[in-house]
């Protein structure tokens, strides 16, 4: 077999090391705009005239609804489209960001179909939006819909700058997969933009607050609560280098959910007070939604507001008070759920809350006083920071615009370049003895650069070929994870089992490529496969499904892992004793009766393994101890006076305790290509 190219591991979130265009390539860019493309809103900014500005749209607002409406008179975007959401729900599209980079049968797509009134249909296995316009059905991809929103941001920037805009930096959630990032780039291209960088929203928020310019090493927490999503990220900054350690949150929790609770409350008030049900009256609900949204925003500054909708419906002029406390009570469970994501993010990052230096709260909904109080309480009274002159719902845009300024050369800071790294959202590794998966790049590993090296050996005597099977996923058994590809390394000099040294290395480089290499350390022969950014990628639904599956089977996997690791250790110990006996016999260090006794002990252990394939780890451990008890005293006594090099060593090290979190392949009796897990303990071996 010939090793081919792997599909890009969907667990790798690509490198975002923004090189200065004017320094690294000599290319001069015109103004590079920064766009925050949110689930419900979008905004655009630019570094212009020596300062960063978030640009107001034609209506004077610096935040534009990410809505598209398809009316018979033409397409509408932004505020005009949002105003039609209740009047013409089947033809008003929003929340399309959740569809990016997914297949139609993805659980997230199916969930969105249940939540939105417009039609999401299948085409070529992917989700598309179906609308009717002038009596004709139109089908649009999510990228096409978002391109319309991005085009509106482009026009807004061009109107402000008075010139054509070609280049942009777009922000995305830290947990976005490579497929979702690529889909975002496609949307930008369709909008007539050259997407120079896709950067993480929390990284952009940190940049906006200037925290990247602090010297030293610090941990930060970014609490990003927008109109439709919640993202909580733990970030480590080392002298300007931004590393995202973890992310947690809810893609369907945000300000619109809080508004909906207020609307539902007043629908109940109208029903009780006036005996009228306005829930089916689109125009009344539109009026009520607008007023509820206004009231919600006002309550961030005032303790009480009056909700007034004259002519809500025939015979109903709504005028009712809404206090901040009542608003908080209506949304108590949602607020608590949002703050609960902090603990998940810290746990994933293995960071204690006392190690968080600063808390950044960004996104429009982070203004809500009760949310801020809950976050403050979670951190034992620590106040969240807020940069002067930067509104919470503009912070991400501000950071993206700064990145655009750097890329254009307008904002050149040679002494402190900004480097925003990412994380692996899926574990990557190889299959080794027993079918287990040996981890190389664990989930949440900071990328890039990332390099992991382990040394293995062969499973069979005279084995001349090994096949390295590469997987990604969270299950203990490699076969339960997503297969990425393989390396076939031939020409290994024939030798005893466990003697050849095969070094396997995973490397993720700055440009986003990942290389997996298998090298025979004795001959220098090596084979490798390289994973390129734009080659085929598994769909996100596979990743999400496998993570949920890993959680469901975690306890069962732990039992299976313990069983296989115990068998591997006993098997390795048997061969180590056998090898030690052969070497000692050749050097006349052992008596014949000693040799017979140890050989019999080894045969007994191997026979037991063959006749008890389902034995539990405790029984296998007992067999291991029995073999050690039978052989160790003989070797210790007979070799004490003689040279011990290569005799006791293998007995102690050839079958070590399994490394935490590691895994190992399916044994294939009689298959010379089966791969045996045995980390080489020789000089210079180090896990990088």
Where do the structural domains in the chain lie, given as residue ranges? Answer: 17-210+390-417, 255-333, 554-666
Classified as helix, coil or strand, 454 is strand
Q: Is residue 392 predicted with pLDDT exceeding 50? A: yes
Task: Say if CB 237 and CB 203 are below 8 A apart.
Answer: no
Say which residue, 7 or 242, is predicted with more confidence.
242
| Dihedral (Cα; 173, 177, 179, 180), 10-degree rounding | -20
CA distances from 669 to 123, 323, 494, 654 (A): 45, 73, 18, 21
Quick one: average pLDDT of 49-72? 92
User: Which has more confidence, 417 or 526?
Assistant: 526
The SS3 call for residue 591 is coil
573 class by beta-carbon count within 10 Å (0-12 exposed, 13-18 middle, 19+ buried): buried
C-alpha dihedral, 205 to 207 to 212 to 214, nearest 10°: -90
Do strands 217-225 and 356-362 pair parallel, antiparallel, or not at all (unpaired)?
parallel
Decide if pLDDT at 409 tops 80: no
**pLDDT given for residue 4 in this prediction:** 27
Q: According to the model, what pLDDT value does residue 264 have? A: 96
Per-residue confidence (pLDDT) for residue 271, from 0 to 100? 95
3-state helix, strand, coil in the chain (%, to 5): 40, 25, 35
Is the Cβ–Cβ distance between 598 and 630 less than 8 Å?
yes
Q: Find the mean pLDDT for residues 26-45.
A: 83
Q: Give the whole-angstrom CA distance, residue 665 versus residue 26.
A: 49
d(CA 328, CA 332): 6
Model pTM? 0.60
Classified as helix, coil or strand, 14 is coil
Please indicate whether residue 329 or residue 688 has the higher confidence score (pLDDT): 329
How much is the average pLDDT of 232-239? 88
CATH H-level superfamily of 17-210+390-417: ATPase, nucleotide binding domain (3.30.420.40)
Runs of H (alpha helix) within 331-440:
332-349, 369-378, 395-408
CB 444 within 8 A of CB 424: yes
State residue 447's pLDDT score.
63
Per the CB < 8 A criterion, the answer to whether 54 and 394 are in contact is: yes
Please tell me the least confidently modeled range out of 114-128, 172-186, 218-232: 172-186
β-strands 304-313, 419-420 pairing: unpaired
Interior/surface letters 277-286, b for 16+ CB within 10 angstroms, e for the rest? ebeebeebbb
> Hey, how many other C-beta atoms are within 10 angstroms of the C-beta on 61?
13
Q: Band of the pLDDT at 154, cuts 50, 70, 90?
A: very high
Residue 174, phi then psi, degrees to nearest 5: -60, -30
Residue range 410-416: average pLDDT? Answer: 54
Question: Band of the pLDDT at 646, cuts 50, 70, 90?
Answer: very low
Question: If pLDDT is split at 50, 70 and 90, which confidence band does 546 have?
Answer: low
pLDDT at 556: 83
Distance between CA atoms of residues 168 and 403, nearest Å:
9
pLDDT recorded at residue 425: 64
Architecture of domain 554-666: Up-down Bundle (1.20)
- Read off the pLDDT of each residue in 478-485 and give the average, rounded to a whole number: 83
Mean pLDDT of 613-634: 85
Q: Decide if pLDDT at 681 tops 60.
A: no
pLDDT band at residue 647 using 50, 70 and 90 as cut-offs = very low
Structure-token pair, residue 598: 């140890």
User: What is the average pLDDT across 4-31?
Assistant: 35
> CB count, 10 Å around CB of 635?
21
- Beta-strand runs (E) in 214-303: 217-225, 230-238, 241-250
- 551-605 pLDDT per residue, tens: 788 888 888 888 888 888 888 888 878 777 777 666 666 777 888 888 888 889 8
Residue bearing the bigger pLDDT, 194 or 19 = 194
Residue 363 has pLDDT above 80, yes or no: yes
Mean pLDDT (the chain, rounded): 80
The backbone torsions φ and ψ at residue 222, rounded to the nearest 5 degrees and listed phi first, read -105, 115
pLDDT digits (tens, 9 = 90+) for 107-137: 999 988 988 899 999 999 999 999 999 889 9
Section 491-519 average pLDDT: 81
Tell me the mean pLDDT in the region 336-352. 94
- Residue 342 makes CB contacts below 8 A (sequence gap 6+) with 221, 223, 232, 248, 353, 375, 378
pLDDT of the residue at 415: 44
662: left (phi over 0), alpha (psi -120 to 50) or beta: beta
Q: What is the 3-state secondary structure (H, E, C) of 504-515?
A: EEEEECCCCCEE
**Model confidence band, residue 9 (pLDDT cutoffs 50, 70, 90):** very low
Average pLDDT (652-661) is 33
Helix (H, G, I), strand (E, B) or coil at 34: strand
Q: What is the pLDDT of residue 599?
A: 86
Looking at residue 49, the DSSP 8-state letter turns out to be: T
Cis peptide before 212 (omega within 30 of 0): no
Q: Where do we find the tokens 């599956």?
A: 549
What does the block give as tokens for 177? 């997969």
Q: Which residue has the higher pLDDT, 75 or 44?
A: 44
Residue 643 has pLDDT above 80, yes or no: no
pLDDT 10s digits, 31-40: 899 999 998 9
* Spatial separation of the C-alpha atoms in residues 609 and 360, rounded to whole Å: 56
Mean pLDDT of 647-671: 30
Enclosing H/E stretch for 21: helix 21-24
% of the chain at pLDDT higher than 70: 80
Residue 91: predicted pLDDT: 94
> Residue 543: its pLDDT value, please?
59
Half-sphere exposure of 175 (CA within 13 A, CB side): 19
Please tell me the least confidently modeled range out of 3-12, 386-395, 528-537.
3-12
CATH code of the domain occupying 255-333: 3.90.640.10
85/630 Cα distance (integer angstroms) = 79
**Separation of first and last alpha carbons in the chain:** 30
**Res 674 pLDDT > 70:** no
Per-residue pLDDT, 495: 83
């Amino acid at each position: 077999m010939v090793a081919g190219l792997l599909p890009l591991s969907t667990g790798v979130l690509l490198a975002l090391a923004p090189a200065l265009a004017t320094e690294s390539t000599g290319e001069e860019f015109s103004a590079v705009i920064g766009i925050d493309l949110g689930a419900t809103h979008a905004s655009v900014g630019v570094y212009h005239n020596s300062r960063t500005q978030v640009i107001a749209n034609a209506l004077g607002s610096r935040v534009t609804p990410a809505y598209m409406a398809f009316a018979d008179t033409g397409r509408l975007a932004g505020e005009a489209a949002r105003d039609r959401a209740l009047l013409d729900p089947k033809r008003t599209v929003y929340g399309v960001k959740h569809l990016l980079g997914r297949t139609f049968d993805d659980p997230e797509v199916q969930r969105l179909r249940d939540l939105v009134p417009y039609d999401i249909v299948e085409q070529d296995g992917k989700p598309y939006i179906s609308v009717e316009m002038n009596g004709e059905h139109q089908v649009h991809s999510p990228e096409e819909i978002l391109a319309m929103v991005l085009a509106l941001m482009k026009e807004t920037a061009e109107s402000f700058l008075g010139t054509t805009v070609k280049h942009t930096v777009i922000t995305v959630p830290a947990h976005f997969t490579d497929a979702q990032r690529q889909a975002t780039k496609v949307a930008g291209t369709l909008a007539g933009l050259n997407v120079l960088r896709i950067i993480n929203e929390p990284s952009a928020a940190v940049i906006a607050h200037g925290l990247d310019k602090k010297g030293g090493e610090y941990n930060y927490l970014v609490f990003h609560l927008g109109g439709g999503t919640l993202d909580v990220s733990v970030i480590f900054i080392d002298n300007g280098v931004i590393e995202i350690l973890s992310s947690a949150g809810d893609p369907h929790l945000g300000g619109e959910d809080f508004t909906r609770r207020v609307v539902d409350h007043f629908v109940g008030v109208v029903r009780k007070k006036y005996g009228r049900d306005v829930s089916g009256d689109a125009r009344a609900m539109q009026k009520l939604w607008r007023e509820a949204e206004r009231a919600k925003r006002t309550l961030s500054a005032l303790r009480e507001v009056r909700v007034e909708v004259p002519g809500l419906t025939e015979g109903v002029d709504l005028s009712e008070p809404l206090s901040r406390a009542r608003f908080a009570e209506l949304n108590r469970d949602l607020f608590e759920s949002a703050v609960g994501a902090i603990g998940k993010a810290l746990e994933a990052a293995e960071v204690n809350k006392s190690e968080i230096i600063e808390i950044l709260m960004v996104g429009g909904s982070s203004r809500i006083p009760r949310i801020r109080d809950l976050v403050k309480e979670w951190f034992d009274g620590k106040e969240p920071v807020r940069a002067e002159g930067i509104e919470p719902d503009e912070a991400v845009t501000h950071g993206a615009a700064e990145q655009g300024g750097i890329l254009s050369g307008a904002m050149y800071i040679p002494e402190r370049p900004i480097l925003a790294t990412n994380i692996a959202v899926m574990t990557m590794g190889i299959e080794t003895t027993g079918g287990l998966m040996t981890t190389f790049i664990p989930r949440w590993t900071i990328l890039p650069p990332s390099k992991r090296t382990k040394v293995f050996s062969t499973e069979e005597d005279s084995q001349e070929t090994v096949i390295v099977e590469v997987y990604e996923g969270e299950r203990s058994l490699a076969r339960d994870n997503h297969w990425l590809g393989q390396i076939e390394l031939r020409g290994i000099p024939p030798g005893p089992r466990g003697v050849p040294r095969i070094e396997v290395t995973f490397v993720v480089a700055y440009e986003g490529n990942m290389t997996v290499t298998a090298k025979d350390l004795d001959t220098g022969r090596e084979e490798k496969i390289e994973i390129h950014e734009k080659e085929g990628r598994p769909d996100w639904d596979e990743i999400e499904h496998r993570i949920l599956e890993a959680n469901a089977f975690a306890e069962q996997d732990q039992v299976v892992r313990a069983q296989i690791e115990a068998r591997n250790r006993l098997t390795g110990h048997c061969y180590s004793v056998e090898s030690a006996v052969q070497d000692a016999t050749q050097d006349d260090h052992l008596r014949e009766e000693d040799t017979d006794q140890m050989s019999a002990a080894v045969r007994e252990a191997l026979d037991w393994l063959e006749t008890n394939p389902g034995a539990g780890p405790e029984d296998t451990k007992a067999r291991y101890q029995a073999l050690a008890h039978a052989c160790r005293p003989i070797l210790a006594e007979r070799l004490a006076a003689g040279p011990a090099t290569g005799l006791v060593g293998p007995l102690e090290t050839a079958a070590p305790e399994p490394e935490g979190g590691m895994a190992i392949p399916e044994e294939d009796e009689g298959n010379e290509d089966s791969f045996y897990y045995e980390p080489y303990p020789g000089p210079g071996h180090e896990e990088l």
